[in-house]
Every structure is written in C-alpha cells, then in structure tokens.
Structure 1
Amino acid sequence: MILAGDIGGTKTVIGLFEADGNRLHVIREETFPSQSYGSLEAILNQFMGPGSAASLSVACFGVAGPIIEGTSRATNLPWELDERSLAEAFRLPRVKLLNDLEAAAYGMLHLDPTDLCVLQPGPPRKGNIVVIAAGTGLGEAILYWDGTRYHPMATEGGHTDFGPRSDLEIGLLRYLQREYGRVSYERVLSGPGLFNIYRFLRDSGIAQEPEWLRKRIAEDDPGAVISEIGLTGDDPLCTKALELFVSVYGAEAGNLALKAFAIGGVYIGGGIAPKILVEARGHMPLRTAFTRAFTDKGRFADLLRSIDVRVALNLRTPLLGAAHYGLMLLGRHS
C-alpha cells in the first residue's frame, strides 16, 4: 500500500493507494483544511486511525515549499516536515518528500487525454516539458527528457523577480514595491496576486469599485470573487484585473518554456487555470491574451508558437504524481 499526499497552503489531500503491478488503485481519499491543523502528523493520525500504518510500504508527499535533504518548511503553512521523523512516527519503511510542483509534473505524465485541454496545439515532440501552476501560490517545475524517459525537477521559479512588460505593469510593480519591497511573480500570479492586481487598478483610478462589489470582496475570498465576476463581465474592474492576470500568466509561462527549452510542451496546473481558461470557453479574449503573451518573445516568437500548451483539468494531479513516485520507489516504473 502507498500513502500519498498533496500538501498545500489551503488544503491537504491524502490518499491511500494499492499497487497492482505498475498500476495504482485508489482505496480512500480525503481532503483536509490545512490551516485547521498544526502539523501533517495531526492530519495523518486522523486519516489513518490506529494501527493502519502497518500495511504501508511507502509514503510520498508533495509539499508547497523547497525540499532540502529530506526536510521542508512549507511556504504558506507554519509546518516543518522531515522524512525521517515521519517514518519513525508512523513506523514506515520509507517516506519521501517532493516539492508539490515536482509531484504535479510527475502526475502530468499519467493523465488521461480527457484530463487535458489544449490551449495552443503543437506537434508531438520528445523534449523537456515545463509545468506552471497558479493557486494559493505560484509553482513551477521541469520535466527533463534524457532521451529515454522524463525526470521531474523542482524549482522555486515562482519566487523570481516580477518583470513588467508595459507601462501598466511597471505601475503594478511600483504599487506592490511600496507594500512588499521586493516583488516576486507569486505576488501577482496567485489567488492573493489577483487581488493585488485588483487593488492596484482600483487605487490607481483605472477603474472604480462599486459598493456592492466592495461588500462581496469583504465577505468572501477576494480572488474567487474577482475571478467569478470578471468572467461574467458584470464589472469593468474585475474584468480588467482578470485580463492583466492572464496576460502576466502567459508571459511567465513563456519565460519558463524558454529557460527550460520546453519543446516537449507546457502544462498549466493549479486550480485557477481550469476556471479562467477552460470553463469560460466563451470568454475567448482571456485565452487569446494568454497565448499572445506566451508567444510574444521577439526572435523566439515562432518557437513559442510551435509549443503545445495544455491545461490540466484534473485537480488531483499532484496527488497522483506523489502516488506514482511512491510506486517508482517500490521499483515499479509506472
């Protein structure tokens, strides 16, 4: 049996999988609000119950944060994780911590075609693939192609310096610098980042905030409200915020593709992209804004236009990746 987890700042998903040769079958799966627990151990105790760890062969967890020598301090959680401590606490033969986007990258290799939506078609090519995912934060990873198989590689690319491309984005950078000092891409490309863009447009007088919208945002998750209303077109401020968000998203996806020479393709993960780029199929300007920014790379525009870009619709991708990594640790290549 394989215990797998996707540990994020908002929620933690834990799954129990049974290995059948090189295939996996989910036995049980449960989602926990991360902020309601003081540690991963507390969640695992609740999920497994007494005595259930005896049947486990390996555990693998994708964590939203850097992994260094088997330990991690989660980026958006006050948790410290350690492979050795987890193995001892739950009497497990092997525990592996992965960066969450590393797990997601591995999971992308095991998705069904119906789990993916094509944003920009490209020829099937063997080569490096990149994964970018905006959610609670911004994650980026690389799938390195060695000529035979893919190897997931973690990065902390979401925390690189935000690079504005227009006068409007320069204004956004200066606005956020006054609040944060240094501004990373995650300050713009995430749920909280969408609210940062919205506040900039509002406070700069580019669009007005009606009272009904101010109340909605005060009572609910700001990023979710802005996304919902921006897609309906019911408010110019939300629409402008979403358009700018999508344009920056496409530009950074293109940056990542260039850095990794990702001729094998680009996968867009996370919980935001399916809503704003896929579910809103009638909102073509957003999809166009993404691909236009993705390919706007000067002398390399033609190369970017030739790269296959897909959105992952299966939100369980990081969990599946962690489980398949666990299967690999058992010596079974899935």
Structure 2
Amino acid sequence: MHTRLSIAYPRQNSFKNPEKIVLAADIGGTKTNMALFRHTDLEFEELISHTYPSSSFNSPTEIIDDFSERAGISYDAISLAIAGPVYKQSVQATNLPWGINALEIQKKTGIAEVYLINDLEANAYGLGVLKPEDFVCIHEGDPEPEGNVAMISPGTGLGEAGMYWDKKYLHPFATEGGHCDFAPQTELDIEILKFLQRNLDHVSWERLVSGPGIETIFKFYAEEKKMTIPDPIREALSRGSAGPLISKYAAEGQCRICEATIDLFLRYLAEESGNLILKYNATGGLYIGGGIVPDIMDQLDLDRFLHFLQNSGRMEKLLRRVPVTVVLNEKAALLGAAFYGF
C-alpha cells in the first residue's frame, strides 16, 4: 500500500529544478516546525530545521524572519501547512489568534512563491514522501487497490483529510470534519456530552479526540465520577499540560482515572475513524497521524479498538476490509508542505 502512495501523486515526476529550495512549515496550535528542503533524485533533503513554540509569536512572518536569519540560506518558495480552513490563500488559524494571508507574506518576505495549505492536506501529501519504516499497520484488511484513502490526526486539534482516487492518481483534499457534532452512543457518552454543554454551545469530536480532549475526559471522570486525581496531574492540569502525564500514568497501570481516560479517548478515536471511512468510502485505507497515538501504542487494545472502529451495523463488512495504518513520523505534514511547495 505504501508503494502505491509513494508514486501516486501526479506532480512528483515534474520536479525539474534541482536548485530550488523551499522553506516549509507545519504550523500547529502548540508548535511550529520549520525547515529548508532541496529535492534531488526523488528524495527530499532537509538542509536545516528548527521548532518554535507557536504561541510565543504574533504571526508566521515573525517565525519566518527568525528562521531565515538562523538558517543563513536563501530560498525560492514558502509553503506553510496550517491547522485551519484555507480559502483563497488566506486562513484564520483554528487554535492560534493568527490571520494568515499568502499575499501579505509575499510582500513582507519578498518571496514570489508563497503557498498556504491545510495541515491535514499536507499530512496526506506527506504520505507519498515517507518511508516504509515510518508506518505500522495495525489491521491489514482486504484493501481495494484503486480506492479512496482517509486520514485522521489527533493532536492539539482533530484533523481529518481524504484522498480521492481518479483511476490514476490520489488527490489529497482538506476537510474540517473534526468539528462535526460529537455523536453519543451510550449513557456514559450522554453524560460527557451534558458535562461539556455546560460551557460549550457546540460539542464536536475535536473536544474529545485531541490532546485537550484527553484533559477534558480526565476532568469528567474527576468531577462527575469523583475519581482520585494524582497530585502531579492536578498540578499539570492547572498549567493546561496534563495530557502527556495522563498517558504516562495510564501506561504504568497504576492510575485508574488515567487508564479510564485513555481507554475512552481511544474508543472515541476508533468510532470517529469508522465514521470517516464511511463518509469517504475509503476502501483504500485509513491512516492515523498526529503525535498522540504513536506515543500510546503500547496501551492500544487492538481487538477493542477495531471493534469500535468497525461496529457500524450493516456497514461492518465494508469496514473490516479497510486496512488501518499508524503514521509514526511526526514530520509528515512538514514533508507534505515541502512536497506542495515543489
């Protein structure tokens, strides 16, 4: 399957300028990864890279200025992958107070080629650049070689994208599916929906299937189910950075509330993954990206995860055929932005 993705996108064979250098960035709510790339012999060579805390800057141009000075290398194009809906080369970042416009960046940097792309669309392009060791297949299924592909990526938010198959190539496209309505299935789900509705007018899947979603589920168990909170996590919650610690305690198997939290997070991820496959008719496969799932792979009860992913009544047979693969390389979006820039 990876082989098909690596050759499917139509533009890669048309990269003809070996001297061209692209500044690529993956701009997320938490961090911004930035790098310069050269493309040679169907490979992307990373020349220099740096990671920035996104919230410490007022705009992407501030980061670009700092990175350009740090790199000391001229470049020919800028390609930015951003968490948010891109419209007419403008975007309001979803989890940052930034409005970004390609024309403004052109004027401020003097670079004629500036491209904005949704971060999950960039992730999808990145799949064609990654190597086999960047993937782990958790369900082989019985894929249709010429079928659509779906991608879901929980991180600071919940990204979702698709790739439609035109009988010759795969074409990535962005969506904002993570903001669709959360769909409760059980009494517990209804309780957590009501818990969230106290403070939110709209409850989306992103509110639960994301890094902040892990904290939300944890708070639900603590406040509504009166489960005991370990002191270090209580302190981390006050700073808004408890997710990694919750995952760590859950992996150690000595924190009941942490284990319950990760268990429910994975169930919701599985259910929304199944929804995504059905919406896109993604018979070519599902890819799970983002930085959370690779870090909690050892906590994944695979049979249970696949049960909730495939438990869709009359469509269960279709879902069982779809292969499920976890993307291990966190630079997929960065590489995809570079791909798009070239």
TM-score, normalised to structure 1's length? 0.92
Q: 1:297 aligns with which of 301, 305, 312?
A: 312
2:267 is the counterpart of 1:252: no
Q: Distance in 2 between matches of 1:213 and 1:194?
A: 12
- Structure 2 SS opposite 1:267: strand
Q: 2:322 aligns with which of 297, 301, 307?
A: 307
In structure 1, what is the equivalent of residue 335 of structure 2? Answer: 320
Q: Distance in 2 between matches of 1:217 and 1:154?
A: 32
Q: Distance in 2 between matches of 1:51 and 1:116?
A: 30
2:84 is the counterpart of 1:84: no
Contact 1:61–1:98 (Cα < 8 Å) also in 2: yes
1:1-334 equivalent positions in 2, closer than 5 A: 1-20=21-40, 22-49=42-69, 55-124=74-143, 125-205=145-225, 207-211=227-231, 213-218=233-238, 221-277=241-297, 280=298, 283-285=299-301, 287-327=302-342
TM-score, normalised to structure 2's length? 0.90
**C-alpha displacement of 1:93:** 2.2
What 5-or-longer segments of structure 1 have no aligned partner? Answer: 328-334
* Distance verdict in 2 for CA 1:284–1:23, change over 3 Å: closer
Contact 1:15–1:28 (Cα < 8 Å) also in 2: yes
What 5-or-longer segments of structure 2 have no aligned partner? Answer: 1-20
In structure 1, what is the equivalent of residue 7 of structure 2? Answer: none
**C-alpha displacement of 1:206:** 5.8
Q: Distance in 1 between matches of 2:340 and 2:180?
A: 27
**C-alpha displacement of 1:202:** 1.5
The CA RMSD measured in Å over matched residues stands at 1.7
In structure 2, what is the equivalent of residue 331 of structure 1? Answer: none
Q: Distance in 2 between matches of 1:50 and 1:229?
A: 38
CA displacement 1:244-299 (0-9 Å, x = unmatched): 1100000001100000000010000001010112xx1xx352x3332111101111
* Distance verdict in 2 for CA 1:230–1:92, change over 3 Å: same
The one-letter code matched in structure 2 to 1:172 is: I
* Distance verdict in 2 for CA 1:109–1:123, change over 3 Å: farther
* Distance verdict in 2 for CA 1:136–1:128, change over 3 Å: same
In structure 2, what is the equivalent of residue 332 of structure 1? Answer: none
**C-alpha displacement of 1:102:** 0.5
Q: Distance in 2 between matches of 1:224 and 1:21?
A: 39
CA displacement 1:200-235 (0-9 Å, x = unmatched): 111122633344543454467111111111121111
* Distance verdict in 2 for CA 1:88–1:137, change over 3 Å: same
Q: Distance in 1 between matches of 2:268 and 2:71?
A: 49
**C-alpha displacement of 1:51:** 10
**C-alpha displacement of 1:16:** 0.3
Q: Distance in 1 between matches of 2:235 and 2:338?
A: 42
Contact 1:66–1:73 (Cα < 8 Å) also in 2: yes
* Distance verdict in 2 for CA 1:236–1:58, change over 3 Å: same
The one-letter code matched in structure 2 to 1:316 is: K
Q: Distance in 2 between matches of 1:94 and 1:10?
A: 26
The one-letter code matched in structure 1 to 2:323 is: D
The one-letter code matched in structure 1 to 2:241 is: D
Q: Distance in 2 between matches of 1:151 and 1:18?
A: 23
Contact 1:4–1:322 (Cα < 8 Å) also in 2: yes
The one-letter code matched in structure 2 to 1:14 is: M
Report percent identity of matched pairs.
39
Q: Distance in 1 between matches of 2:231 and 2:340?
A: 49
The one-letter code matched in structure 1 to 2:91 is: S
Contact 1:227–1:238 (Cα < 8 Å) also in 2: yes
Q: Distance in 1 between matches of 2:105 and 2:26?
A: 15
Pick which of 228-237 and 98-107 moved more: 228-237
CA displacement 1:157-185 (0-9 Å, x = unmatched): 01010001111111111110112121011
- Matched residue count: 321
